[in-house]
Amino acid sequence: MILARFLRKYRYALISTIILSSTSAAVTMELLANINALATTGIPNRDARPLFIGLCWLAALLLSGAASQFLLARLGSNLVAQLRTDLSERFVDLEYEKLADRKHSAFGSLIEDIANIAPLVLIAPLLAYNVLLAVLYTAYLSTVSIPLLGILLVFLCTTIVISLVLARKTRGMFDSLRQSDEKVFEYFRAISEGKKEMTLNTARASHFTSELLNPAIGQSKKFMTRVYLGWGFNEAWSTVVTYGSVFLIVYLGYAVLELPQATIIQFVIGALLFTGPINFITSTGKQVGTGTASLRHLEHVGLNPRTKAQEEKVFKIPDQKSLCGWQSIQIDSVCYEYPSDVDHSNGFGPVTLDFKCGEMVFIVGGNGSGKSTLLLLLSSLLSPKTGHVLIDGCPIGDDLVLYRSRFSGVFGDFFLFPHVLDSAGNLLSDSHIEQLLQMLNLSANVEANQGELSKLTLSTGQRKRLALLQSYAENREIYFFDEWAADQDAHFREYFYSTLLPGLKQRGKTVIAISHDDRYFHVADRIIELECGRVRSDSRT
């Protein structure tokens, strides 16, 4: 259970809150007893002691309630922070291919699911308070009139049974609501990422709004209406049952049971207070349903409950000394299919290739030929459906962190981090960063301050140079570039192919570059051409 870690960590605070809530319940009952005694017996000779006693109980109720709310506030903030930390770490730790086609799931989970899960813990002390209060009210009302208590319990039990049946029926609707919300989050993300295109093309903006965003919001609204209509009906039904039971208690108490007025008044006061905790218990079903739907959604995304070893796991940074030398990496009969490729029209493989240490390889081919997929498989960001990736004839095994630590480069959809780190995760010195900025002709645009770049909002070509700077800082064994030079001017494209890539090779690095610049194919040792996910040719220059 995703909440287990939080419950273990804050169990003493949670228990303290439950104890305080229980104390509040006991104080509330004692205050009720004093109110009933005062209402039925009156104040003899205007005695001030009942007033003093009542004020004391009110003060005790205030203190216990305030202390309970203080702990609840701290628990709530701790829970949200813990959930954000835990889910963030899980998303960072999650394999790339599990989120490759649904990156929006991370945004939705970190925002929506946390807001839904947090109340599951926060209602626990309140639930304990109301359950204990209901038990105490039942005990108290049994001393007033057992027949009237029987009438009241019949009505309230009926309400609870209906609420449980409704909760079971609405579970599927909660799941559908969460799935529809995920689609809405996907389109919210598209608003940010596609803002430039939609600003230039109002027709595109109109189509996106009318054909995609609004229908998704409408679908979410439909499920939301069903969920809240069901619980709204339940609350309305509970209100009718509450006042109906009190009405019948008064009527039957006088007409059938012929009870004295004092008994009926005393019971009615207790009954009205008794229905409060019962209504709270039944109303928590909505929060529980929403929260458990979010828990199921997280497991569906791939965030299954951690084992104890996973909870204690820290990010492992491989020691470069542990990276023994290698001679070749083999792709042996590898096939791969993306989860979104339901009709199997864009399959990759089977592909068999061998990459020698220290060579420079260019991968070429048309769009959709499998070039980027080959890079992802080679760097183990994707796992082959069939076949194997081997290093010096041995499967890369389960220690993918060590294997991946050999790679660095620039993806086609790269992301820029503001801090420049070496392979061990240490901030690079400002002087070293300045040297790299000069080498990449960026020193006039960007500065370094304690390992942090001063500016990231540059042109696409300049941003790619910053991404190249990051990979240089890591100083890994294997460099890959996914059409890196496509956004560079003619001068820097020449510099990249004629100076930077040969410089990496001279340093003993293995270079694998996706390229369409046939003018520079002579720089490579080999040219691998892909077509429709297979190797069309593999030739040396």
Domains of the chain: 4-311 (1.20.1560.10), 320-540 (3.40.50.300)
User: β-strands 448-449, 407-410: how paired?
Assistant: unpaired
Which residue type does 516 have?
H
Spatial CB neighbours of 66, under 8 Å, sequence gap ≥ 6: none
Mean pLDDT (the chain, rounded): 82
pLDDT, average across residues 46-54: 77
pLDDT, average across residues 298-324: 55
Sorting pLDDT into bands at 50, 70 and 90, what band is 275? confident
Q: How many Å apart are CA 151 and CA 107, to the nearest integer? A: 50
DSSP H or E segment with residue 172 = helix 146-193
Most confident of 1-15, 311-325, 347-361: 347-361
pLDDT, average across residues 269-277: 81
Sorting pLDDT into bands at 50, 70 and 90, what band is 443? very high
Which residue type does 445 have?
N
Q: Please give the residue that has the higher pLDDT: either 488 or 2.
A: 488
- Residue 108 confidence (pLDDT): 66
b/e for 188-220, b at 16 or more Cβ within 10 A?
bebeeeeeeebeeeeeebeebeeeebeebbebb
Sorting pLDDT into bands at 50, 70 and 90, what band is 465? very high
**Residue 342 above 70 pLDDT?**
no
Reported as a single tens digit per residue, the pLDDT across 313-324 is: 445 555 555 556
Q: Please give the residue that has the higher pLDDT: either 324 or 443.
A: 443
User: β-strands 510-514, 448-449: how paired?
Assistant: unpaired
Q: How many Å apart are CA 123 and CA 304, to the nearest integer? A: 24
Q: Determine contact, residues 305/4, Cβ cutoff 8 Å.
A: yes
Q: How many Å apart are CA 366 and CA 533, to the nearest integer? A: 10
Q: Where are the alpha helices (DSSP H) in 477-539?
A: 490-495, 501-506
**Residue 453 above 90 pLDDT?**
yes
Sorting pLDDT into bands at 50, 70 and 90, what band is 106? low
**Residue 534 above 50 pLDDT?**
yes
Q: How many Å apart are CA 280 and CA 278, to the nearest integer? A: 5
Q: How many Å apart are CA 108 and CA 143, to the nearest integer? A: 52
pLDDT, average across residues 255-271: 86
Reported as a single tens digit per residue, the pLDDT across 113-124 is: 777 777 776 676
Q: Which residues pair with 510 in a beta bridge?
A: 478
- Residue 345 confidence (pLDDT): 62
Spatial CB neighbours of 347, under 8 Å, sequence gap ≥ 6: 335, 336, 337, 341, 533
- Residue 496 confidence (pLDDT): 96
Q: What percent of the chain has pLDDT over 70?
A: 87
Spatial CB neighbours of 193, under 8 Å, sequence gap ≥ 6: none
Spatial CB neighbours of 492, under 8 Å, sequence gap ≥ 6: 441, 461, 465, 485
Spatial CB neighbours of 365, under 8 Å, sequence gap ≥ 6: 371, 529, 530, 531, 536
**Residue 305 above 60 pLDDT?**
no
- Residue 307 confidence (pLDDT): 47
pLDDT, average across residues 486-492: 91
Does the reported pTM lie above 0.85?
Answer: no
Sorting pLDDT into bands at 50, 70 and 90, what band is 160? confident
Backbone torsions φ then ψ of 462, nearest 5 degrees: -70, -35
Q: Measuring CA to CA, which residue among 368, 333, 365 is closest to residue 347?
A: 368
Sorting pLDDT into bands at 50, 70 and 90, what band is 308? very low
**End-to-end CA distance of the chain, in Å?**
57
Q: How many Å apart are CA 21 and CA 97, to the nearest integer? A: 46
Q: Measuring CA to CA, which residue among 151, 112, 156 is closest to residue 130?
A: 156
Q: Measuring CA to CA, which residue among 262, 214, 227, 234 is closest to residue 160?
A: 234
Q: Please give the residue that has the higher pLDDT: either 102 or 82.
A: 82
**Residue 38 above 50 pLDDT?**
yes
Q: Which residues pair with 537 in a beta bridge?
A: 529
Helix axes 11-41, 49-93, angle to 10 degrees: 150
- Residue 184 confidence (pLDDT): 85
